[in-house]
Amino acid sequence: MDLGVEGRVAVVAASSKGLGRATAEALAADGALVLLNGRDEAALDDAVAGITAAGGTAAGVLADITDPSVPAELVDDAVARWGRIDIVVGNAGGPPPARALDVDDDALLAAVNANLLSSVRLARAAVPHLRAAGWGRICFITSVSVRQPIPGLSLSNTARAGLWAWAKTAAQDLAADGITVNLACPGPHATARMTSLGAGAGAGPLGDPADFGKVVAFLCSEPAAFVSGTAIGVDGASVSGLL
C-alpha cells in the first residue's frame, strides 16, 4: 500500500528507542523526512544512522520532550530544516509503577506533564502549519490503559486517559481542517520499558515494535484521511473490554 507520505515531514517525539524509534523508522521507510528526538545522545545518533543507512532521511534533536519549550522547538526545527511539517507523533517515556493511593501530587503532576501535556504542546505547536497546508496527521502513542487501566500503573493510567479525552475533543475541532487526531495504544511489546516492568515472564507473547510502527505510519497516512478520533489497540487481544 502506498501511504502517501513520501516527501512529508514528520516529527516523532521520544524516538531514539522503543516504539518511538520503530515509528520513525516506519515513516522513513515510506519516504517521510523524519525528525527524531531523545535524551540519550548515543541512542539518538544510532537511530538516525540506522534510518539513513536504510536509505531514509532523518535528523535528530537531543532534548527532553517533557521540557515545556521543547515541543515547539522541534516543530520549528523541522520547518526550518525542511520547509514544512505534516505529521506529528506525540510520545514520552512512561512514569514509574505506583498504586493509586500511594502517589503524591508531585508524582501526578510529573506524569501529566510527560504523558499528557508534552503531546498537547506538540500538537498545539504544529496545528497552525497543518491548518495552513490543509492537511495534517497527529498521532499519540499511549497505552491500552486508555481502555482498560493496568493494575499498579496508576500514574500512566491517569495521564494517558486524560490525553485520550483531549485528543477525542481535538479531533472534532480539527476535522474540517483536513487534520486527523488518533491514538495508537500498545499492549506489551518487546521494548526496554516492558522489560523494566517485568513483562514477558509468563505474560504471553510480546508484540514486535516494527509492526507497531507500521500501524502508526498508517494512521499518519493519506489513506487514513477518514480515520480520526480513534484509539487503535495494538495489544494482541490483551484488552477484554468491548469498547
Question: Quick check: helix, strand or coil at residue 137?
Answer: strand
In the structure grid, which three cell numbers stand for residue 90, read together? Answer: 506525540
Q: Is the pLDDT of residue 201 over 50?
A: no
Class of the CATH domain delimited by 9-234 = alpha beta
CA dist., res. 123 & res. 235, Å (int): 25
CA dist., res. 16 & res. 42, Å (int): 9
pTM over 0.75: yes
Q: Render pLDDT for 140-176 as a digit per residue (tens, 0 to 9).
A: 999 999 999 999 999 999 999 999 999 999 999 999 9
Which is it for strands 87-90 and 9-12: parallel, antiparallel or unpaired?
Answer: parallel
Q: Render pLDDT for 20-34 as a digit per residue (tens, 0 to 9).
A: 999 999 999 999 999
Domain residue limits, the chain? 9-234
Q: Render pLDDT for 32-70 as a digit per residue (tens, 0 to 9).
A: 999 999 999 999 999 999 999 999 999 999 999 999 999
Q: Is there a contact between 23 and 12 (Cβ–Cβ < 8 Å)?
A: yes
To the nearest 10 degrees (0 to 180), the angle between helices 209-219 and 18-29 is 60
CA dist., res. 211 & res. 63, Å (int): 26
